[in-house]
A and B are shown apart, each in its own frame.
Chain A
């Protein structure tokens, strides 16, 4: 598994907060960087992959941890 270049801990912020945080980080990241989001909002598990697909980024994993979600994307463009 690719190692995350940056982990965005968005726990405690509700949808679309975590996605907004990811968009901000993606803008600053380089192509090929892996960005991981931690979110305790179930909406993120749907919204983030949908956004990534639309932007042409790869979704590496969507995992449920203890009470929160771990979602990683690879910036492709």
Chain B
């Protein structure tokens, strides 16, 4: 009997987990007792943190995309199809054309910015969370002659540090172009400080103060008036902008919402240590698709994949699953176009930003290349 392990999703989480599994289970795959298949709706794989560097015209978008087939080991099967429903009862994935049965399912369907979540927003906003958005924002910035740039955000969103990074990088970008005195940068955040994690808030606030970046807290977007170019907030006030960059609340994948297996926003209730879907023994969830109250970030998916693969290998070999995810996340924090900080934290240890340095920025630059080794399951 062949155990069919199906990984739904070909982003960082899905690709990393499938490659690591294939490497660890090579003997079983060769004997035909295990199959590992990635099912994804796209044949290209984007390195999403690269978008930030596209915005500032530091790197072209093409540097951050690869073919999914080329990233996967030959032992991993790849199906490109749009799954519309997950049938947990019959243990199958359903697309308009086909059904794909599984014995063990790994859900890695990610999260997506919902630009429709605020009325009027989609009509006027720029973004750097989508490949097209990053290029469009880059082009707008290159022709920008001055005015107020407002950064607005809602939660949850992936890569929680990115809005701070884009703000600090905008400051540096315009200084280099000798335009900083003509640009007002306004950063906003929904709660009473500039970031959810207090140590990051303290770090960012210090940078904002030193560099003349304005910030507004308790900023809860309710609507955007595209004609008048104002953001309306929950406290009844209006905030004019010349250029709006938004990071709206994210949702889980359409297939999760459609299958009714997630919460209202499409995130799947997941055990924070075993990464099993709550109430399901054959379904695991990792990356942005979970409802865990931790950062939705590539590094989260990477550390989760390490744990999950050990447990899945044990499961295949008839051993108990003893490895637990400890909530580990690590992120670089770009402080400008040439220096950066770094944070690492887990369920029990809050983040503490490292001193900013050029070295950390260089390492981030290197990681932009090393990422492909992560996706291949090599580091």
Q: Which residues of A contact B (CB under 8 A)?
A: 12-14, 16-17, 19-20, 23-24, 26-27, 47, 50-51, 54-56, 77
Contacts and interface: CB of A to CB of B under 8 A. Distances in A.
A7 B220 CA distance: 21
B313 to A, nearest CB: 29
Give the one of B191, B218, B220, B222 with max A CB within 10 A.
B191
Contacts of B190: 20, 23
B355 interface: no
Size category of the binding interface on chain B: 10 to 19
A66 to B, nearest CB: 22
A26 B348 CA distance: 30
Contacts of B220: 23, 27, 55
Given A14-B293, A27-B222, A56 B236 contact: yes
A77 B235 CA distance: 8
Give the one of A13, A16, A47, A56 with max B CB within 10 A.
A16
Overall SS of chain A's interface: helix
Interface of B: 155-156, 190-192, 196, 218, 220, 222, 234-236, 249, 293
B330 to A, nearest CB: 19
A24 B155 CA distance: 9
A19 B191 contact: yes
B196 A16 contact: yes
Contacts of A27: 220, 222, 234
- The 7 A-B residue pairs with the shortest CB-CB distance, nearest first, are A13-B293, A54-B218, A16-B191, A20-B155, A17-B293, A55-B235, A16-B196
A62 B234 CA distance: 22
A27 B234 CA distance: 8
A20 B160 CA distance: 14
Given A13-B293, A17-B293, A56-B235, A51 B191 contact: yes
